[in-house]
């Protein structure tokens, strides 16, 4: 928790989840559901990501993460906030006691360490995330073991798309 949040009286806030009408999530994601599966890049076992926007000026990006079965996004932290909106399924953090379901809006404060997991009740998840800065992958002691930022993500997508026939330039239309 950063000092400004403590001073403002928000030291108890870890995540904010606000249920929204279920129909909204379906309308937002409808256009993406039927697209070519090649837009999804593997991130981990049973986890894929699809880019929506790369803000190369501010170092931010928006993407959709989908996972099935025992999908896990390794332990990480963000030096900047992350916003999320759950579209399908259920998920949470190993380090948390909440479950995000369709229509839930998520706020992740900067500096928190967590491990994203698919919740067994649904067995899958699909969530829109807006990363306002890099992802720092950490070990069980909190030591950094890797990172991703807007530029490493762009490079990874270009390589993925060049190899699957979409073409590396597919990513260029998403950069701002």
pLDDT digits (tens, 9 = 90+) for 45-56: 999 999 999 999
In this prediction, residue 71 carries a pLDDT of 84
User: What mean pLDDT is predicted for residues 100-114?
Assistant: 94
Domains, the chain, in order of start with CATH, read 39-174 (2.60.120.10)
Residue with tokens 């009740």: 121
In this prediction, residue 27 carries a pLDDT of 41
Percent of the chain's residues with pLDDT above 90: 70
By CB atoms closer than 10 A (0-12, 13-18, 19+), residue 174 is middle
pLDDT digits (tens, 9 = 90+) for 6-50: 444 444 444 444 444 455 444 443 344 446 899 999 999 999 999
User: What mean pLDDT is predicted for residues 84-94?
Assistant: 95
Question: What's the pLDDT band for 162 if we cut at 50, 70, 90?
Answer: very high
In which order are the strands placed within the sheet that holds 124-131?
16-19, 104-108, 82-89, 124-131, 60-68, 47-55, 41-44
In this prediction, residue 17 carries a pLDDT of 47
User: What mean pLDDT is predicted for residues 50-63?
Assistant: 96
Distance CA 14, CA 12 (A): 6
In this prediction, residue 172 carries a pLDDT of 93
């Amino acid at each position: 928790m950063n000092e400004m949040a403590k001073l403002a009286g928000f030291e108890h806030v870890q995540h904010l989840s606000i249920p929204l009408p279920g129909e909204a999530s379906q309308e937002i994601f409808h256009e993406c559901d039927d697209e070519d599966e090649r837009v999804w890049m593997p991130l981990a076992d049973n986890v894929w990501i699809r880019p929506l926007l790369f803000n190369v000026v501010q170092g931010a990006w928006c993407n959709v993460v989908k996972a099935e079965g025992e999908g896990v996004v390794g332990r990480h932290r963000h030096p900047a906030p992350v916003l999320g909106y759950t579209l399908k399924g259920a998920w949470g953090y190993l380090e948390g006691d909440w479950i995000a379901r369709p229509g839930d809006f998520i706020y992740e404060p900067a500096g928190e360490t967590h491990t994203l997991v698919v919740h067994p009740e649904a067995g899958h998840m699909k969530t829109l995330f807006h990363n306002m800065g890099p992802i720092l992958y950490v070990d069980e002691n909190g030591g950094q073991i890797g990172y991703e930022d807007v530029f490493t993500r762009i490079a990874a997508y270009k390589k993925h798309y060049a190899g699957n026939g979409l073409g590396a330039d597919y990513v260029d239309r998403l950069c701002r």
